[in-house]
Amino acid sequence: MNADECTTTRGFASAVKTGVGVSIRVAATLWVFLLVAASCPAPAGEAKPLTSIFIVARADLPDPNFADSVVLVMNNLGPVPVGFIINRPTQIPVSRLFPDIKRLEQLQDRIYFGGPVDLGSVWFLFRASKKPEHAVQALEDIYVSANRDLLVQLLSRSNPTDGLRILVGYSAWAPGQLEAEIKSGTWKLQSADSDAIFNSKSEHPWPAPQAPTRDK
């Protein structure tokens, strides 16, 4: 697999602060899991059924990365739960990913913060009537991928971001960690549905605005 197969952003953290352009690299570790899940059938009797849920952060969660977050969590991207925050838009426009595609300059859509793991990686959730190549199922009609060519293809449609959400970074938990956090009340479980991913209004930007400080 070469570097052009996955779309990622270098220096995204600095791009958030300075507005500089983003470039392309490989999100190696999770992309390996995604390729394995997409292309390697499990032995008979060992297939892992897809389970996807939303977890909703408790109202007073102090972690700035997960405060006010709704996370789509899947069990089929690796040996531990992996997910993407779906409601935290950044200040980076989608057009910044592909500055050479001039028609994208008219888009008002933003890239979303998917989680604090590997902020240099770019992923996308999208609707499709059947499973495309280089993608893994997330919900009944929703797929996730990090394939550059597939993303360019989707952005070439007449309505580029219809049924498409582009994210930087992802969320992951150590074995047993998420279960413990749910048990402690950090997260509330909710049924996952595609309308919440693409149609819900996102009012919790990332990074969260800093509260003004009072002069002493």
Q: Check residue 112 and give its pLDDT.
A: 95
Distance CA 111, CA 115 (A): 12
Q: Check residue 77 and give its pLDDT.
A: 74
Higher pLDDT pick, 14 / 72: 72
The whole model's pTM is what? 0.76
Q: Check residue 110 and give its pLDDT.
A: 93
Higher pLDDT pick, 180 / 3: 180
Q: Check residue 49 and give its pLDDT.
A: 65
Domain 3-39+48-198 has CATH 3.40.630.30: no
Write out pLDDT tens, residues 18-72: 232 233 333 333 443 343 333 333 344 444 567 899 999 999 999 999 999 999 9
Parse the chain into domains and list their residue ranges: 3-39+48-198
* Percent of the chain whose predicted confidence (pLDDT) is above 70: 73
